[in-house]
Structure 1
Amino acid sequence: MKEAYEFLKNCGTFYLATEENGQPHVRPFGAVCDFEGRLYFVTNNKKNVYQQMIKNGKVEICGMNKGKWIRVVGTVKEDLRREARIAMMNENAVLSNMYTVDDNLMTVLYFENGTATIYSYSEEPKIITL
């Protein structure tokens, strides 16, 4: 998991895909966290993306960095613990421009299960179990 986390962190921007009524939706994200050995990301619980993930936890993430790209496929679950939000804020200072730990907007989700695959044009894909 650590390698997938580091890759996404170094991407800066990565893209999260959700689904609603058979229609895919893709959005840019940029904050990830390694908390308790799980891959976490953050969103606002008032956004459509949050509602889509609560209804259908199957998501995909894709990002590119230095000629390699990653696809993370799996099921996400919301973590309501304050400690998880604190960990996210500690690893992503830029979030303080949008959220506070106790604002009732910021929510964190983690990959309950999934697979990250790192690809390149010159190497075999590397598969990482989350």
Structure 2
Amino acid sequence: MTGNETILQYLNAVPAWYLATSVDGQPHVRPFSFAAEEHGKIWFCTATTKDVWQELLENQRFEATSWWPGHGWLILRGKAGLKDEAGAEMRRAGYEHLESLGEHYDGPDDETLVFFSVEEPQAWICDHDEWKPIEL
């Protein structure tokens, strides 16, 4: 299993995981639930109308974490790649996912939907005793 596959397994095994940004020294944490791989990178979906997007424009560094009961938790650090290069299949999947959460957009090509990649990733699988790096 590749490093990206391991990361996606942890992120997609639970209904929600958490992504943190930091602006002006103040951390901001919120639930996320869409993650996919394309072009060899992990991608997340949000909207340009959300605070998280504005925060990533100001400071691209983020950290995400997911607790998968019985397996430990994932810590993923990286820099948001803000150039939206999501293909049609991923755009449709992200759109459908956000719509299933009760959000509303004018289709997969709605200009407010935005996908960002995980650049410069570092990841670990952790338990109470140790952090095991994921080879990326």
TM-score w.r.t. structure 1 length? 0.86
Is 1:30 matched up with 2:33?
yes
Measured after TM superposition, the shift of residue 103 of structure 1 is 1.0
TM value normalised by structure 2: 0.83
CA shift in 2, pair 1:89/1:79, >3 Å: farther
Say whether 1:104 aligns with 2:111. Answer: yes
State the Cα deviation string for residues 43-76 of structure 1 (Å, max 9, x = none): 1111111011111110000110123111101111
Query: For the structure 1 residues 47 and 114, does the alpha-carbon distance in structure 2 shift closer, same or farther, using more than 3 Å as the test?
Result: same
Consecutive unaligned residues of structure 2, counting only runs of 5 or more, are: none
Q: Say how many residue pairs are matched.
A: 128
Return the structure number with greater strand share: 1
State the distance in 1 between where 2:23 and 2:55 align. 6
1:125, distance to aligned residue in structure 2 (A)? 2.7
Given candidates 75, 78, 86, the residue that maps to 2:82 is: 78
* 1:66 equivalent in structure 2: 69
Choose from 110, 115, 127 the match for 2:122: 115
RMSD of aligned residue pairs (Cα, Å): 2.0
Aligned-pair identity in percent equals 27
2:21 corresponds in structure 1 to: 18
Question: How far, CA to CA, are the matches of 1:54 and 1:86 in structure 2?
Answer: 25
